[in-house]
Copies of this chain bind each other. A is one copy, B any other.
């Protein structure tokens, strides 16, 4: 299994604090030693940093912690390999272009019989994981159903949710996924989220001795949501997601939520 970390914010936000705790799980407080990666959406740009080594002693991880990158959306993953060797080609997140946008994807879990169950279309995997195969299948389905960006996001959310349910039927499928505007999170077994807004208070990391007072580094208008496989802080109330639940964030706010049989939008 692996661990996921995501962020959606309404202002360019530095995720160094959360990353400092999360990256400890790649070899220190967690066993996920088989590589890690992070993707940042900054203005209209997109960049990834990946390393096939444990995050706890990765020079690239040290850079990320020392060089705060302010971004609107972040997706990060630390890997404990099951399908596919430990190498750069199998390191998450994965990305492809659709509609002139960068789409980013990271998966925690394991899928059985994925090659037979999931017919590929436009996109082909470059590595050997079940995860990247499922990503190519998912994005091919979206491209086929929506050759252009849909005017109403609900039809796309429905397709993503249905596709995630199909993937969950093959095993364990916890997902972070973004088209550069929305951050989608689907829970199969384990995913939690929290939205921070004014009045901001202090937060205390679970995985390393680090405390931050968000009030000192935010404005009253800031809204920042963070998602993680397990809550990253000990003094805040995280929402634990249910099996089969899809949540959608934009600009830091939860804008839609779907469960296995019901739909809620706000």
Residues of the B chain whose Cβ atoms lie less than 8 Å from the Cβ of A50: 45, 47
Does A30 reach chain B (CB closer than 8 Å)? no
* Given A63-B59, A66-B59, A67-B60, A88 and B46 contact (CB-CB distance below 8 Å): yes
B-contacting residues, A86-133, CB 8 Å: 87-91, 96-97, 99-102, 122-128
Residues of the B chain whose Cβ atoms lie less than 8 Å from the Cβ of A88: 42-47
Whether A124 and B100, one on each chain, are in contact in the complex, defined by CB atoms closer than 8 angstroms, is yes
Whether B125 and A100, one on each chain, are in contact in the complex, defined by CB atoms closer than 8 angstroms, is yes
| Chain B residue at minimum C-beta to C-beta distance from A58 | B67
Does A49 reach chain B (CB closer than 8 Å)? yes
Measured as residues with beta carbon below 8 angstroms from the partner, the interface class of chain A is 20 to 34
Question: What 1/0 flags go to A42-81 for Cβ under 8 Å of B?
Answer: 1111111110100000011001001100000000000000
* Given A59-B67, A67-B60, A100-B126, A48 and B45 contact (CB-CB distance below 8 Å): no
Binding site secondary structure of chain A:
mixed
- Tell me which of B43, B96, B127 contacts A45 (CB under 8 A): B127
Shortest C-beta distance, A135 to chain B (Å), equals 11
Residues of the B chain whose Cβ atoms lie less than 8 Å from the Cβ of A127: 44-45
Residues of the B chain whose Cβ atoms lie less than 8 Å from the Cβ of A91: 45
Most B-side CB within 10 Å, residue of A46, A50, A96, A100 = A100
Residues of the B chain whose Cβ atoms lie less than 8 Å from the Cβ of A90: 45
Residues of the B chain whose Cβ atoms lie less than 8 Å from the Cβ of A101: 126
Distance of A89 Cα from B89 Cα, bound (Å): 23
Residues of the B chain whose Cβ atoms lie less than 8 Å from the Cβ of A89: 43-46
Binding site for B on A (CB under 8 A): 42-50, 52, 59-60, 63, 66-67, 87-91, 96-97, 99-102, 122-128
A-B contact pairs, 11 of them (CB 8 A): A42-B87, A45-B52, A45-B87, A45-B88, A59-B63, A63-B63, A96-B96, A97-B124, A99-B124, A100-B126, A102-B126
